[in-house]
Structure 1
Amino acid sequence: MSASTQRLQQLSGQLAGSESLSARDILLATRKPTDVVICLALRTPLAKAHKGAFKDTQLDGLLVPLLNAVRDKSKLDPQLVEEIVVGNVLHKDATFLTRASCVAAGYPASTAVSTVSRWCSSGLLAVESVANKIATGGIDIGIAVGAESMSTNPDNGAPEFPASFMADPVINDITQPMPWTAENMARDFNVTRELQDEFAAESFQKAEASQKAGWPDDEILPVTTRWKNPKTGEVETVQVSRDEGVRYGTTKESLSKIRSAFPQWPPATTTGGNASQLTDGAAAVLLMRRDVAEKLGQPILGRFVLSTVAGVDPRIMGIGPAVAIPKLLKKVGLSKDDIDVFEINEAFASMLVYCVEQLGLDRARVNPRGGAIAFGHPLGCTGARQIVTALSELKRTQQRIAVTSMCVGTAIA
């Protein structure tokens, strides 16, 4: 009899005569050799773009130390890693650089490397890509990475499309800046500036409490790098060990004093205090099949169950999580009350307010360590970073199930 069957029988015995086995109970009790499991989850600190410790660090300067750490901390023979998938948005030569970075980090030429992009969810797409290959038997072991240097690879906006494309209002909306979509959400769904500042202040306060308590310490890899000191003009070696964007003492009242960042787009409620910060950082997730992990003596931090995607109207792209999360929960037979932690990317406060209220979520379960408003959103990194953070939080609180979601440029979730 398998361990999962024994566990199911134990649960059945415990619940006999009282209530039937719930979908959550069954999900948690089931263990299969072919499960996709996570054996290591790690990230760099998140540093302020253009002025933080990583402002002079190229993308490879984030990738190489992170991949080195995955190899060293897991004590896994790099020859066994069949593929590394890197999510990145802005680097123009990402496919070349990620392959080179993996080799520089000690992975052999036999380790295949690919680069994926789905804007803000590129890190999630990397995890999904590796997990699905393991689930279908294509590979046994892979590493998913999300990484972005917004300092050295700035976002230049949408390309120029043919006039025939731009005549289509949906395509025209795809080309618009993301803050424009945030203001559309605020206007269309009556998300007030006051509510946005309230949610943003809550993010800062959670992040402050988390950082002071040392909760993120086990998810963060300290990184040593070099930067040009803006005061002295000299190049210095610095070590970064914590997220730079957290502003202690932030309140709704203090945020309310910040002027609108985009007065040209009514209702002009988005500010530098209630939107995600421009940030540099990277995150990595080591995945493998359960029986392989057990054979290699790898710790199992969690199990990848399922992912899904959904498209929405680009002009209100922030509603994405409110569409994608119910779709995912329906597919796995769970309700929102079965979920212990929701990691929802805080692209803008207007979308966060809408999604949390539309889904009827307990705010205490949403981004319990704060989110991108408080410590930043390195575009390609955040999806993988959310998984790293969620696993650390589940471990700390001895909880079991987390869901990650985000709205994505061009309106996907």
Structure 2
Amino acid sequence: MADAVIVGAVRTPVGRRGGVLGAVHPVDLSARVLTALAERAGLDPAEVDDVIWGCVSQVGEQAWNVGRNAVLAAGWPESVPGTTLDRQCGSSQQALHFAAAAVASGQADLVVAGGVESMTRVPMGSSISPGPTGTGLPYGDLVRDRYRGTPGFAADDPVPFNQGVGAELIAARWGLTRRQLDEYALTSHQKAAAAQDAGAFESEIDPVFVPDGAKVVADEGIRRDTSLERLAELKTPFRADGVVTAGSASQISDGAAALAVTTSEWARQHGLRPLARIHTAVVTADDPVLMLTAPIPATARALRRAGLGIEEIGVYEVNEAFAPVPLAWLAETEADPARLNPRGGAIALGHPLGGSGARIMTTMLHYMRDHGVRYGLQTMCEGGGMANATIVELL
């Protein structure tokens, strides 16, 4: 089989819910990064075999195959197809995996992977509907019967698996304190602010022009004025005596990102410059009640398949859905904390669900390039207790 390489990676700034990108349709956000990707990578959109687009809430403005609509909105040839997938928070990371598999197997030469989420315009959970009969809620009786009585599973709730409760259960299992979570959250903001001040994000972000004519060039969610004292004042919404707050959780956000994937041979023939090789790509699953622990076995599987040790990985990006996730991951993998999310994570930068996998990979690739890091590993927890893990090698 051929290899799979990334020849372009770009993202929009990430906006807060109700913030600077709230007036931009998610199809238009997607079109913006497709256009920027083609321009920056120097690729001809007519040669794209497929666009695989991640999106979690595929309803309203994100319905009717947002991936295909993005292709049309970008002005790309009508011959370019597009599809939309949902692996929850890992949707666009899974899109990258599918793109890599397509080119490596010879089914395609050039595939664009990415994703979008406008959590302002399509609120999280809005795709859940009882339907006309009132029985269309997710999961079904057999799932409820399987997990009824499990600590943390609310059998009488329309959405009985709760990520926030899962985060609390993880904190309890790994003995994580409120102070530790708040300190981690503060560090995420500090890292992101330092990276933004140093101009580290500028090469990966393509500006977005909003309807009022303003040009959005920077991530909006970084809280430079936060402190341990302010974080300590926040309530714990998932458990009255809990430790997880809005401050130690990812931000609800708007944004999109895209990556171009081909083989090294096709890239050479068409004058494209590979950034990195997709070395290893895996997906796995774990307890759906804890929900957020699967990055741990996913990392172990990826390293085993790659034949690498955690000490050989120069940078790790573990999505900060909630602070207990990367902290539990660190405890189990014994990874170097200094290599974890060096430019901040979703607590500071935001988590536009369907676009986060591609956003994180874009940030990691640029960090690897800037610092000459050979191997990077990305993993993220996903609804239903799943996780993707990807190891890339700088070229």
Match of 1:154, as an amino acid?
P
Task: Provide the residue aligned with 1:63 in structure 2.
Answer: 30
Matched, 1:260 2:232: no
- Deviation sequence 1:160-202 (CA, Å, 0-9, x none): 4443442220795773221111111122322111111111111
2:49 to 62, 69, 82: 82
Give the superposition deviation at 1:132. Answer: 0.5
Mean Cα deviation higher: 209-218 or 187-196 = 187-196
TM-score between the two structures when normalised by the length of structure 1: 0.86
Task: Provide the residue aligned with 1:26 in structure 2.
Answer: none
Are the structure 2 counterparts of residues 164 and 339 from structure 1 closer, same or farther at C-alpha, using a change threshold of 3 Å? Answer: closer
Matched, 1:44 2:22: no
Give the superposition deviation at 1:140. Answer: 0.8
1:189 to 174, 182, 187: 174
Give the superposition deviation at 1:74. Answer: 2.4
Contact 2:284 2:294 in 1 (8 A): yes
Give the superposition deviation at 1:144. Answer: 0.4
Mean Cα deviation higher: 299-308 or 339-348 = 299-308
Mean Cα deviation higher: 387-396 or 348-357 = 348-357
Task: Provide the residue aligned with 1:102 in structure 2.
Answer: 71
The within-5 A match list for 1:126-145 is 126-145=95-114
Task: Provide the residue aligned with 1:7 in structure 2.
Answer: none
1:122 to 70, 74, 91: 91
Match of 2:146, as an amino acid?
D
Contact 1:205 1:249 in 2 (8 A): no
Match of 2:161, as an amino acid?
Q
Are the structure 2 counterparts of residues 164 and 327 from structure 1 closer, same or farther at C-alpha, using a change threshold of 3 Å? Answer: closer
Mean Cα deviation higher: 370-379 or 265-274 = 265-274
Contact 2:46 2:80 in 1 (8 A): yes
Contact 2:314 2:374 in 1 (8 A): yes
Name the CA distance, whole Å, in 2 between partners of 1:402 and 1:151: 31
- Deviation sequence 1:55-78 (CA, Å, 0-9, x none): 122211201111111122223221
Task: Provide the residue aligned with 1:215 in structure 2.
Answer: 200
Give the superposition deviation at 1:88. Answer: 0.5
Task: Provide the residue aligned with 2:248 in structure 1.
Answer: 274
Name the CA distance, whole Å, in 1 between partners of 2:226 and 2:347: 12
Give the superposition deviation at 1:257. Answer: 2.5
Contact 1:185 1:316 in 2 (8 A): yes
Match of 1:254, as an amino acid?
R
Task: Provide the residue aligned with 1:166 in structure 2.
Answer: 144
Match of 1:272, as an amino acid?
A
- Deviation sequence 1:1-27 (CA, Å, 0-9, x none): xxxxxxxxxxxxxxxxxxxxxxxxxxx
Match of 1:39, as an amino acid?
V
**What's the Cα RMSD here?**
1.8
Matched, 1:240 2:216: yes
Determine which structure has more spread, i.e. the larger CA radius of gyration: 1
Name the CA distance, whole Å, in 2 between partners of 1:72 and 1:298: 12
**SS of aligned partner of 2:353:** coil
Name the CA distance, whole Å, in 1 between partners of 2:313 and 2:228: 28
TM-score between the two structures when normalised by the length of structure 2: 0.89
Contact 2:66 2:83 in 1 (8 A): no
Task: Provide the residue aligned with 1:229 in structure 2.
Answer: none
Are the structure 2 counterparts of residues 164 and 302 from structure 1 closer, same or farther at C-alpha, using a change threshold of 3 Å? Answer: closer
Task: Provide the residue aligned with 1:152 in structure 2.
Answer: 121
Contact 1:191 1:350 in 2 (8 A): yes
Aligned-residue identity in percent: 34
Name the CA distance, whole Å, in 2 between partners of 1:317 and 1:165: 15
Name the CA distance, whole Å, in 2 between partners of 1:90 and 1:399: 35
Contact 1:141 1:288 in 2 (8 A): yes
Task: List runs of 5+ in structure 1 lacking aligned partners.
Answer: 1-32, 227-235
Name the CA distance, whole Å, in 2 between partners of 1:53 and 1:125: 28
Match of 1:315, as an amino acid?
V
**SS of aligned partner of 2:254:** strand
Task: Provide the residue aligned with 2:390 in structure 1.
Answer: none
Task: List runs of 5+ in structure 2 lacking aligned partners.
Answer: 129-136, 388-395
Mean Cα deviation higher: 159-168 or 395-404 = 159-168
1:336 to 310, 315, 319: 310
